[in-house]
Chain A
Amino acid sequence: MAEFTMPSLGADMDEGTLQEWLVRPGEPVRKGDPVAVVETAKSTIEVECFETGTMGELLVEPGTTVPVGTPLALIEPTGERPEEPEKPRGTEGDETGRPLRPPPPTSAPPEPQRVPVPVPPDAPVHGPTGTGPLLRHLAERSGVDLENLRGSGPGGRVTRSDVEEATAAAGAVAQPSRVRSTPLARRLAAELDVDPATVTGTGRDGAVRAADVRKAARGTATAAPRPRRSAPPVRPAEERGASMRQAIAGLMTRANRDIPHYYLSTTIDMAAAMSWLHEHNRRSAVAERLLPAALLLKAAARAAREVPELNGFWTDDHFTAGDGVHLGVAVSLRGGGLVAPVLHDADTLALPQLMTALKDVVSRARTGRLRGSEVSGSTLTVTNLGDQGVETVFGLIHPPQVALVGFGRISDRPWAVDGLLGVRPVVTATLSADHRATDGAVGARYLTAVERLLQKPEES
């Protein structure tokens, strides 16, 4: 029997309030599934479990505040199931490198009892590899997730009957994955935060049109906020804001008291990066376009790999290097305050993936639904205040990290290139670093690397 405990979701967290259970006793859970919602001083976070098995007794009632480390529930690990391959972090990704999307908690189907043909552990046994267009089409039409389907064909291949079985198993609840709607309606739905699947379409063949979305948006605006599955005790917003303020105050006081900061700054010519970005975006669909922030974050992450002395933690009077570049990204919240969700292994993410991950964590940070693994474990934090219009960031390090990178606004400036004066887009990059861990020369190496990487955007 394993214990599921109140996790520490950041150096500044001492206690958390259990808000909601996402699974009931007796339900199967898999490593990486979100099982509970915990409210910290900073935000509301979905916490994943680290065991595969069956949910046992729930030890803590929703609404209770407990210190970090307190057992919250018991989990009965599954004995007969083959161990899942070890993964560094629950949500990092599956074998194909795609982000692992846990099924929605309440509709999680029981694990199929049928164990497929034994397959050597190194061979990928499921996933879309080897599935043809017909299977992908069938799966998409019936809302079956090919990634999570175990194949019964030779070598564990997914066959047509596997897909049909899964469709039958999902039964009537399976919705066609794509809602028929006009492009304008789809755009409006995103802007007005309406789920097109919940809107009745009045267009041709039941297509959702702009007017339908507007009507639905009016409906939700007047009604109470969308009800949750259970009504968890939510602290009033002011109280939560105040406690977030307190948490930030505590952490930053510690940073300023304990960390001897040194500061470096350099101004970087962004002409190559911006023209590459412009060209990339011109050729890309709207959803695939990149923001300059993606290039800056990527450069910051790759430079941290080159200068590992700045990527890690100062604890117990010594430096421990991070096990990868996990970039914290400071996100200011609309009601005030900030959180720094993590982009894990940001140095290895391709730009489109990085952009997707960034959009995802920023939007969920602002709606207050981050997962535990997404707010802890960052090895270096980046503050990008360019969109707020400032030129230079003088940041405070997020303990126990040893550095913070700041980017200001990208703006056009007179700039000397090859002996001529021209107008170039430039950005000021700053580094706040912990003098206990590194000296100025290391910091200088870091900023130089950032600058060099931004000159070759095509390689990022």
Chain B
Amino acid sequence: MAGDGRPEERGTTYRQAMREALREALRSDDRVFLMGEDVGRYGGCFGVSLGLLEEFGPARVRDTPLSESGFVGAGIGAALAGMRPVVEVMTVNFSLLALDQILNNAATLLHMSGGQLPVPLVIRMTTGAGRQLGAQHSHSLEGWYAHIPGLRVLAPATVEDARHMLAPALADPDPVLIFEHVTLYNASGEIAPSTAPVDLDHAVTRRPGTDISLITYGGSLPKALAAADELATEGIDAEVIDLRTLRPLDDAAVTASVARTHRAVVIDEAWRTGSLAAEISARIAEEAFYELDAPVERVCSAEVPIPYARRLEEAALPQTADIVAAAHRTVG
């Protein structure tokens, strides 16, 4: 771990990057504190906050009872009172217990108070499947939150975004939800020593290409990049767009990419019906219809509760081979 005066390590994991971002936030602003189930003594269910209780003390790293509605509501209250809370919810499935607080309070108060009561709250939660945690811990419901005006929804998909998205999220006067995909925590990568603050309004091109746009976010990004590598061996030059921010969506980036490639495959680990993938397909049809040279393809999870058994879980989720197959159908 980076101590005083020691430079931050450059090769690091997504988990460490997230922890480093929290550490930096706790250090640089007294108003920031962390709370959630097992974030203190246990170090967080996924080990993100390991060591922070020892470093910052129980007033700033707070373990809470198992009551999502209660502690998310407390976070909203603290934010209204001038604090900058970072609330951790174990998984997006459990966040539904706090959905009332998030939708009816956090997202609305600024608007219902005529602009007097901003809620500068950050809620982090795990999303997605792939680690055999069973249906009640494995769903991808970030699209539901991306439906709600008043929220900003982020999906850091790289180690660097894990490290650098928290600071601008805390600086945002509105409630910000950060979705960390469960399979990404062990991903490792390089972090540039000094990166400019991440811009939370724009998607980013992770790989430029000319033949097809693979549009995705979060845990599906590594699969899309692997698919692009595989397609490259066949001479198909795929562009990979990482949405990064799920609300507000960066339509312009998507449209511009489709205008270059004329073909789109949207990859989204959520269920196809009523998904973000559906929203993106619709926007492509609305804004880039005359650019399309093939129907938009979607690669989503099978419409079942995510199974526990490894083979079944793998079969239910979008995989690199599915993305390659969809790309083939599109390029023809």
Interface 9-mer from B22-30, B38-46, B287-295, B312-320 = B287-295
- CB pair A184–B332 under 8 Å, yes or no, is no
A186: chain B residues within 8 A (beta carbon): 290
Interface residues on B, range: 10 to 19
B288-324, CB under 8 A of A: which get 1 and which 0? 0111111100000000000000000000000000000
B289, A183: Cβ atoms closer than 8 Å: yes
Assembled-state Cα–Cα distance A69/B293 (Å) = 53
Are B290 and A184 neighbours in the complex by a CB distance under 8 Å?
A: yes
How far does the Cβ of B285 sit from chain A's closest Cβ, in whole Å?
Answer: 9
- CA A203 – CA B291 in complex, angstroms? 15
Decide yes or no: A184 and B293 within 8 Å by CB, A203-B332, A209-B332, A210-B262 being known contacts.
Answer: yes
Q: Is A204 an interface residue (CB 8 A)?
A: yes
Decide yes or no whether A332 CB sits under 8 A from chain B: no
Residues of A within 8 A of B293 (CB): 182-185, 203, 209-211
Q: Is the CB–CB distance between B290 and A183 below 8 Å?
A: yes
Determine the distance from Cα of A427 to Cα of B289 in the docked complex, in whole angstroms. Answer: 34
Interface assignment of A220: CB less than 8 Å from any CB of chain B: no
The reply to whether the CB of A187 lies closer than 8 angstroms to some CB of chain B is yes
B contact face: mostly helix, strand, loop, or mixed: loop
Chain B, residues 267-299, CB within 8 Å of chain A (1/0): the string is 000000000000000000000011111110000
What chain A residues lie within 8 Å of B332 (beta carbons)?
202-204, 209
Nearest chain A residue, comparing its CB with the CB of B259: A184
* Shortest Cβ gap from B143 to chain A (Å): 26
| Bound CA span A209–B262, Å | 10
* CB <8 Å contact, A187 and B294: no
**A286: interface (CB < 8 Å):** yes
Please, how many angstroms separate the alpha-carbon atoms of A209 and B295 in the complex? 11
Within the complex, the shortest CB–CB distance from A435 to chain B, in Å, comes to 51
Report yes or no: A286 in contact with B290, Cβ–Cβ below 8 A: yes
Instruction: Judge whether B295 and A184 touch: CB under 8 Å.
Output: no
Contact with B along A199-232 (1 / 0, CB 8 A): 0001110000111000000000000000000000
- Determine the residue in chain A with the shortest Cβ distance to B289: A183
Main secondary structure of the interface of A (DSSP, over half): helix
Residue of B with least CB distance to A209: B293
- In the complex the two chains form, is B294's CB within 8 Å of A209's CB? yes
A286 CA / B287 CA spacing, docked (Å): 11
Complex Cα–Cα for A401 and B293 (A): 50
A204 touches B294 (CB 8 A): yes
Question: Given the complex, which residues of B lie within 8 Å of A202, measured CB to CB?
Answer: 332
Give complex CA distance A97, B15 in Å: 71
Residue on B nearest A181 in the bound complex, by CB: B293
Roughly how many angstroms separate A296 CA and B294 CA in the complex, as a whole number?
Answer: 39
Q: How far apart are the CA atoms of A184 and B290 in the complex, in Å?
A: 5
Residue numbers in B under 8 Å from A204 (CB-CB): 294-295, 329, 332
Specify which of A187, A209, A211 is in contact with B290 (CB 8 Å cutoff): A187
> Nearest CB to that of A186 among chain B residues?
B290
Cα separation A301 to B291 with both chains bound (whole Å): 38
Kindly list chain B residues whose C-beta atoms are within 8 Å of the C-beta of A203: 293-294, 332
Complex CA–CA separation, A203 to B294 (angstroms): 8
Chain A residues with Cβ below 8 Å from B292 are: 182-184
Residues from 275 to 308 in A contacting B, C-beta threshold 8 Å: 286
| Bound CA span A211–B291, Å | 13
Q: Which residue of chain A is the closest to B329 with respect to CB atoms?
A: A204
* CB-CB nearest in chain B for A182: B293
A182 to B292, CA, bound (A): 7
Q: How far is the CA of A210 from the CA of B294 in the complex (A)?
A: 9
State the Cβ distance, B41 to closest chain A Cβ, in Å: 57
Interface 1/0 per residue, B230-268 and A, CB below 8 Å:
000000000000000000000000000000001000000
CA A182 to CA B331, docked complex, whole Å: 12
Interface hits, A157-201 → B, CB 8 Å: 182-187
A211 to B263 CA separation, bound complex (whole angstroms): 13
| A209 and B294 alpha carbons, distance in the complex (Å) | 8
Determine the distance from Cα of A210 to Cα of B259 in the docked complex, in whole angstroms: 13
Chain A residues with CB under 8 Å of B291's CB are 183-184
Name the CB-closest residue of B to A185: B293
B290, chain A: closest CB distance, angstroms: 5
A204 to B332, CA, bound (A): 7
Given contacts A183-B289, A209-B294, 11 further A-B contacts (CB under 8 A): A182-B292, A183-B291, A183-B292, A184-B291, A184-B293, A185-B293, A186-B290, A204-B294, A209-B293, A209-B332, A286-B290
Residues of A within 8 A of B (CB): 182-187, 202-204, 209-211, 286
Q: Which 8 pairs across A and B sit closest by C-beta, in order of nearness?
A: A184-B293, A210-B293, A182-B293, A187-B290, A183-B290, A183-B289, A183-B292, A209-B293
A-B residue pairs in contact (CB < 8 Å), sample of 20: A182-B294, A183-B289, A183-B290, A183-B293, A184-B262, A184-B290, A184-B291, A185-B293, A186-B290, A187-B290, A203-B294, A204-B294, A204-B295, A204-B329, A204-B332, A209-B293, A210-B262, A210-B293, A211-B293, A286-B290
